[in-house]
Amino acid sequence: MHNRTARTVRAAWALAGGAAALTLLTATGAHAEGKGDIRVTAAAVNGGKSVVIGTTQRVTYPIAITIRDNSGVKGLLHVSVFNKTNGWGFSDWTGTKCVKKSSTTSVCTATMTVAPQWLPGSLPEDVNHTAGVWQVNATVKANDGDYWIADQIAEFRMKRASKLTTDASPEPVAKGSELTVSGKLTRAHWEDLKYYGFTGQNVKLQFKAAGAAHYRTVTTVRTGTSGKLSTKVTVTSAGSWRWYFPGTTTTARVLSAGDAVKLK
């Protein structure tokens, strides 16, 4: 399967009571073919932001595709998304809205949907391996019958959701005393829809003094066993402490809630 093109190799399993399907595709380099002068001139996924999938919540995201043809744009015939490296993908194309910008140009926005419940056991390998850089393929059609089949019109990141906690103690604390700030970084596991500790990651400890507008980074700590975090700081003023994980190519960034600490 992996030595053939994304357009010709497709297999789908009915999932979630037949309401959606998971599509398996093989990634290839950029390619386009068709008839006439119709072209995709731009495409953007989710407003430029990563698509983040957790363990429970259904996620919808837009793919805005700008299309041009001298006769005007009829619409989208096909849209698919999948991991650029290994070719596996999951997203259901659930709707399209085209907005005419001129006599020759329209922006057609495809709505894509993912339900985490579709994912466990859906691939012959660990579905977590699909997190990373994805690409978009689309087939577009003009009013005069022209069409264009375009691979890799856009790239985006499909990421596993993450969670982060913060706990500062003791509270309240005397000025000049040590405060222990702990926490835990976890991320979604798409095979069993649970969160597990994310070890070996650099996480920033941030502090915002009482009355201040912004947090500042105090130090960086690496997560240990089960994603646990802990460090000691010397307290100079009252304020809030939090952890910040900037994310990776496969895991979403996350900020913990702040833990406010008062002085004795």
pLDDT attached to residue 30? 52
List Cβ neighbours of 170 (8 Å cut-off, separation of 6 or more).
Answer: 179, 180
What is the per-residue DSSP string for 3-33?
TS-TTT--EEEEEGGGTEEEEE----S--EE
Please state, in angstroms and rounded to a whole number, the distance separating the CA atoms of residues 175 and 54: 40
Domains in the chain, please, with CATH? 11-160 (2.60.40.1220), 162-261 (2.60.40.10)
Rounded alpha-carbon distances, angstroms, from residue 237 to 183, 209, 210 = 21, 7, 8
Name residue 134's amino acid.
W
- Cβ(201)–Cβ(228) below 8 Å: no
Cα end-to-end distance, the chain, whole Å: 66
Give me the pLDDT at residue 121, please: 87
CA distance 103 to 69: 9
Which distant-in-sequence residues (6+ apart) come within 8 Å of 48 by Cβ?
Answer: none
pLDDT at res. 3: 23
Spatial CA neighbour of 78 closest among 6, 3, 2: 6
pLDDT at 219: 98
Please tell me the predicted confidence (pLDDT) of residue 31. 61
pLDDT (0 to 100) of residue 25: 43
Q: What distance in Å separates the CA atoms of residue 44 and residue 64, rounded to the nearest whole number?
A: 5
The predicted-structure confidence for 139-154, as pLDDT tens digits, reads as follows: 999 999 999 999 999 9
> How buried is residue 223: exposed, middle or buried, by Cβ count under 10 Å (0-12/13-18/19+)?
buried
Supply the DSSP string of 41-78, one letter for each residue: EEEEEGGGPPEEE-SS--EEEEEEEEEE-TT-EEEEEE
- Tell me the CB-side half-sphere exposure of residue 30, using CA atoms within 13 A: 4
Those residues of the chain that have pLDDT short of 70 are 1-32
Of 131, 173, 169, the closest CA to residue 263 belongs to: 173
